[in-house]
Amino acid sequence: MTVAEVQQQIASLVPQSTVYVLDPMNDGQHLQAIVISPVFEGMPLIKQHQMIMKPLKETLQHQVHALGLKTFTPAKWEAVKNDYQL
């Protein structure tokens, strides 16, 4: 599964989202995703991650070794985006 495919799948799971998927090791197996969406407002972090990981679990199980996940509301993203080089 390519980075673009993972990005597209996450975007389809989270309404009104901006999704960045990175492959820092350039191996296609250890990916990192940053997901920003107003849907996360008032939602506990664990619920945010479950919203993404549960539907992806079977799809990624045999194709990606690890997917690091960071989720943000738009306001939180504005406060921390300078910490990320995208």
Tens digits of residue pLDDT in 31-79: 999 999 999 999 999 999 999 999 988 878 778 889 999 999 999 999 9
Residue 1 predicted with pLDDT over 80: no
In the chain the first and final C-alpha atoms are separated, in Å, by 21
Reported CATH class of domain 3-83: alpha beta
Query: What is the DSSP pairing of strand 18-22 with strand 66-72?
Result: unpaired
Tell me if 35 sits within 8 A of 70, measured CB to CB: yes
Domain-by-domain residue ranges, the chain? 3-83
Give 27: exposed, middle or buried? Use CB within 10 Å, 0-12, 13-18, 19+. Answer: exposed
Residue 65's identity, in one-letter code, is: H
Q: Where are the alpha helices (DSSP H) in the chain?
A: 3-13, 45-61, 74-80
pTM: 0.92
